[in-house]
Every structure is written in structure tokens, then in C-alpha cells.
Amino acid sequence: MNKRTNLVFTLLQAAAVLIALVGTVAAVFLGGWGFSAFGHFMDEQNYAYVGYAVVGLLTVAAVSVFSYGALYHFFTLCQRLKLGTAFTPANEKGMHRIAVCCGICGGTLFLALLLAFAMVNGFALPFVYLLLLFAIAYSCIALVAYALELLVRRATAIQQENDLTI
């Protein structure tokens, strides 16, 4: 593997770490905001908004966990690609896990938006469109990762067949 390719995958790994750090800060901020809202709504005995805060906290927790999972698998996939092993069953599994983690994040965000809408008769968050955008983005990433998984699976089968003929 040449130095330029090595540098590209190292930069992708650094981007994954940076995204994880920024995501951690965002999750802590949103979690703190959710806990303060939870306490505020409990004091006012506004139970619809308490449910809204609980859904928000559970959503932040679930999306954080599965986002970290996707970033971890992306990081390890880049590490294997730096070593020059592109078409392997391990990379196929890694792409599958990335697709599943991102799909769960997108589905969780869509479900949370629907639940919040049903509980509060409309959205109380000013950034609901941003959450919808994230849900769509996670779903699109999941679809692209799944398509890449299928391509890696096919290429792995072709490579194994070629290895047997040589």
C-alpha cells in the first residue's frame, strides 16, 4: 500500500475519532438539557412533557450507542484497508454492522419524532427539522453501507474464486 492511500485511511480514522468527540459533547449537552427539562416538567406536573423528555433522553442514549458502534466498525474497517485487505469476509461484516447501526439510529429518530408528536400534539422542539434531517441522513448512510456490503460480498466471492484458479 502506498503512502498516499495510508494517509487517506489515517485521515478517515482521525475524522471518525473527531466525530465521536463532537458527538459525545452533543450527547452530554442534550442529556443535560433533557434531565433539566424532566425536572422542570415534574415540578409543574405536566406529564405529557415529562414523557416527551423521557423519549428524548432514551433517543439520545440509543442514537449515541449505535453511532459509536458504527464509528468503531468504520475505524476498524479503515485499519484493515490500510493493511491492503479490501475484499474479505471481515470487511463485509464490518459494512453490515455499520449499515445496521445507522439503520437503527435512523429508525430510532423517526420513531422518537412520531412518539413526541403523538404525546404533545405537535413538536415542542425548535430544531425538529434538524432531527428529521439526521434521521434521513442516518437512513441514507445505512442504505449506502448496505449497498457497499453487497459489493464487498460479491468482490470477495470473485477474489476467492480467482485465488482458487491460480
Inform me whether the pLDDT recorded for 123 exceeds 90: no
Angle ∠(37,42,46) on CA atoms, nearest 5 = 90
Higher pLDDT, 3 or 137: 137
What one-letter code names the amino acid at 151?
L
Structural domain total, the chain? 1
Burial bucket for residue 137 (CB in 10 Å: 0-12, 13-18, 19+): middle
The domain of 111 spans 3-165
The separation between CA 155 and the C-alpha centre of its own chain, rounded to angstroms, equals: 25
Q: Taking 80 as the threshold, does the pLDDT of residue 160 lie above it?
A: yes
pTM score, whole prediction: 0.85
Q: Tell me what the mean pLDDT of segment 54-68 comes to.
A: 90
Residue 117 burial (10 A CB sphere; 0-12, 13-18, 19+) = middle
Residue 92 pLDDT:
93
